[in-house]
Chain A
Amino acid sequence: MSVVKAKIATRRAFGERVLQRGADDPNFVVFESDLGKSSQSNLFGDAYPDRYFNLGIAELNTLAAAAGMAAGGRTVFVAGYSVFLTMRALEAVRSFICYPKLNVKLYASHGGLTAAIDGVTHQGSEDIAFMTSIPNMKVLVPADSVSARAACDLALATPGPVFVRLMRDPLCEFYPEGETFRIGGSKTVRAGKDITIASYGDIVFQALEAAESLAAIGIEAEVIDMYSLKPADTASVMESIGRTGALLVAENHQKRNGLGYELAAAVLKNHPVPFDNLGLDDCFAESGNYFAMIDKFGFSGVKIAAAARRLIAAKREKTLMDFQPARESIRQ
């Protein structure tokens, strides 16, 4: 498998798949809050206007009304920006979609800092924390267009609520057509023996870049794409760290209550190894170029490689990582 530049963003791939599936599945509908173009849900809306509901700039009503529509079993996709779907309408998602376990599928564009240029108000940098905290919710983050299309199919095939985090801009393509994915699965996208790097979504490509640069200095990093964040495939991570003896998690999200925290708890319970996690360190990001941003906030390929080297040193010296206070320099 090789990484090539993507022509379309995962939001587009997901939107195209929703449109395709609309032809063979006449039953599902799409709700959105006047972000049809931005989420690309308008592809479906243009083809199936009777099954497409723009509830206006009113996310809470969009989600709660979707719950009403889904009450009899119907599947409803709700498209929008991750930050608005997960925060403005969080209570509707928790109490009226997840609690009754309705077939509402959140189609969340602009996840994490993939909306970097738009600034903090449009960045869903806590979306995974909110969504993984709610019982009955399943959470998927596809990295490329093949996995984004698969995420759409998994969302449709899986009873109950599913949250799919998508990206604003085209990044990379990685998986071959026909690759299979499952709820609760993961993919080892590069094999290695010295350290395990777990990531998801856009940061998988940064992890692969880091692994490439580590290989040049003789370090073999294993990279796992945790595309299913809930349920997460912790068994595969445990199996991997059983061989590598160190775990680094990198994510486009707050460190707090992200994949790093999830895996740290699992590692501590089952198989303590030197561990570190990279992500937003209890701070807000800012407006700017995506690549500059993920580097500044500490989860670019370069930063992942540096953290991996520190971890491997700790592993060799048989010490755990030193406690490092939060980096004041990048705090707001």
Chain B
Amino acid sequence: MVAEKAEERIDELRGVAREIRFQIVDMVHEAQSGHISPGFSAADIMAALYFELMRIDPKNPSAPERDRFVLSKGHACPVLYATLALRGYFPVEELKTLRRLGTRLQGHPVAGYLPGVDATTGSLGMGASQSLGIALEARLTGKQYDVWALLGDGELNEGLIWETAAAAAKYKLGNLVFIVDRNGLQTDGSCEVVMPMEPIDKKFAAFNWHVLKMDGHNMPEILATLRAAREFRTGPVCVIAKTIKGKGVGFMENSLEWHSKPPNDEQYAKAVAELRGGQA
């Protein structure tokens, strides 16, 4: 009975992730601008965080004790906007205003524009560093919130990431979790060709972070790993999520082309049919 319930919940979360992906394609098609595939690789993780793990209340988006989320890979913001809308932070219809003049859905996320956005991001590395400050604030005030930051794997090229990693370990920030969206591709090509960062796990471990790994598209594994990350409280945790860029729409998967390309009407119809029709 309990197992059945858990299985049901997993299915619900998978459904949420599919809906997030649909909304991403829909808004980027409407705007004819924006990043689809960097959001697709993170959609399952976002569903798990916002619909299961984070202690948040969309009706009270500024609650002092709420868990914080920082999208350090800020270009993937359609995934954040879709998740926030579906979770009830603002109307889903507003997603259609992405990148339009006067919109709250800026090209990269801006704190204060939109309920639920905890940090202004878009310049890689800067979100991770801000998440350190947000976590230090909790330490100073004794607040019990956790800080989740989602990083791109290409983003690890930034020297700032490693300044942040050293400082988070210095302050033993047990309330800080980095999730690295390891989809293996960055703008100019394969991450390991553009700038080899492996072994990523050993690098974070050498900076005195607790390191976990997971399949970023396997919902039970995501839940189990991120829960384990929250059980570890003596220092910062880095979760390396193996993902597929463009996951969910066949012709977008593992393709550099779809990093920041909007779909035309035909591609949009094909993507929607796949997302609506099958398992993503």
Contacts and interface: CB of A to CB of B under 8 A. Distances in A.
Question: Interface size bucket, B side?
Answer: 20 to 34
A106 to B, nearest CB: 15
Interface stretch (A67-75, A159-167, A204-212, A249-257): A67-75
B133 A67 contact: yes
B211 interface: no
Contacts of A29: 140
7 contacts: A56-B166, A58-B166, A64-B129, A68-B130, A68-B134, A95-B120, A99-B120
Contact of A53 (B122, B125, B136, B160): B136
B126 A74 contact: no
Given A58-B167, A61-B160, A71-B118, A66 B133 contact: yes
A92 interface: yes
Q: Secondary structure at chain A's binding surface: helix, strand, loop or mixed?
A: helix
A230 B180 CA distance: 41
Interface in B102-131: 110-112, 118-120, 122-123, 125-126, 129-131
Interface residues of A, number: 25
Interface in B154-207: 159-160, 163-164, 166-167, 170
Given A50-B140, A58-B167, A60-B163, A68 B129 contact: yes
B88 interface: no
B64 interface: yes
B123 A61 contact: no
Interface in A71-97: 71-72, 74, 91-92, 95-96
A288 interface: no
Contacts of A176: none
A64 B119 CA distance: 11
B240 to A, nearest CB: 21
A64 B166 contact: no
B130 A65 contact: yes
Given A61-B160, A100-B112, A55 B126 contact: no
Contacts of A53: 136
Nearest to A72: B137
Nearest to B68: A71
Given A56-B163, A65-B164, 19 more contacts: A50-B140, A56-B167, A58-B163, A58-B166, A60-B159, A61-B167, A64-B160, A67-B120, A67-B126, A67-B130, A68-B135, A69-B134, A69-B140, A70-B133, A92-B129, A96-B123, A96-B130, A100-B110, A100-B120
A332 B46 CA distance: 55
B136 A68 contact: yes
Nearest to B113: A100
A50 B159 CA distance: 27
A95 B132 CA distance: 17
A96 B112 CA distance: 12
Interface string B71-102: 00000000000000000000000000000000
B67 to A, nearest CB: 14
Contact of A71 (B134, B163, B164): B134
B160 A60 contact: yes
Contacts of B133: 64-71
A55 B160 contact: no
Contact of B132 (A61, A72, A99, A100): A61
Contact of A61 (B64, B120, B164): B164
A193 interface: no
Given A29-B140, A96-B130, A68 B123 contact: no
A58 B162 CA distance: 10
